[in-house]
Amino acid sequence: MIALLQRVAQARVEVAGEVVGRIDRGLLMLVCAEPADTEDQARRLVDKVLRLRIFADEAGKMNRSLQDMGGGLLVVSQFTLAADTRGGNRPGFTGAAPPAQGEALYEAVLRLARERHPQVQAGRFGADMQVHLVNDGPVTIPITLR
């Protein structure tokens, strides 16, 4: 699985003008499933994201996790994270899981995150979404699990 984390002061996702997910301070996680991914990778990803120490402690050092600071997690599916840009000017997306598998793994990520963390919001799989965020730092962290 591929994820891109952005530490945010706030974030929301809209579909057709309707807010479908919103958080204040926390993490926006853009997530993409790849063809060889399983629910085990989804579990490992959620565990990593919730424990990753990228929030400041009292000394200003990145030493606190999302769970430590009690922030929100906004999860948005984004198959374009698997873009292959090595040839030509049009990216290829064959590295992303097929839609049915991608949706199943996205739903697994959401279920696992909601089992482990009290504040989880989500986008809508396959929808045309507008994602609004205020990146805090900015801090942006890529994660690839293979």
Whether 110 shows a pLDDT value over 80: the answer reads yes
Detail the DSSP E strand segments found in the chain. 2-15, 18-23, 26-32, 55-56, 62-64, 72-77, 120-122, 129-144
Which entry of 6, 41, 55, 79 is annotated as an active-site residue?
79
Q: Is residue 145 a part of any domain in this protein?
A: no
The pLDDT confidence band at residue 146, using thresholds 50, 70 and 90, is confident
CATH value at residue 55: 3.50.80.10
What is the reported pLDDT for 10?
98
Which entry of 6, 41, 78, 121 is annotated as an active-site residue?
78
Whether 94 shows a pLDDT value over 90: the answer reads yes
Region of 70 on the Ramachandran plot (φ > 0 left; ψ -120 to 50 alpha; else beta): left
Q: Average model confidence (pLDDT) for the chain?
A: 96
Q: Is residue 6 a part of any domain in this protein?
A: yes
Domain count, the chain: 1
Which entry of 38, 80, 140, 144 is annotated as an active-site residue?
80
What is the reported pLDDT for 38?
96
Q: Is residue 62 a part of any domain in this protein?
A: yes
79 is catalytic: yes
User: Per residue in 114-136, pLDDT tens?
Assistant: 999 999 999 999 999 999 999 99
> What domain range is 83 assigned to?
2-139
pTM over 0.85? The answer is yes
80 is catalytic: yes
Q: Is residue 146 a part of any domain in this protein?
A: no
130 is catalytic: no
What is the average pLDDT across 43-55? 97
Whether 64 shows a pLDDT value over 80: the answer reads yes
Q: What are phi and psi of 133, to 5 degrees?
A: -150, 155
What is the average pLDDT across 2-23? 98
CB-based burial, 82-100: b 16+ in 10 Å, e otherwise: bbeeeeeeeeeeeebbeee
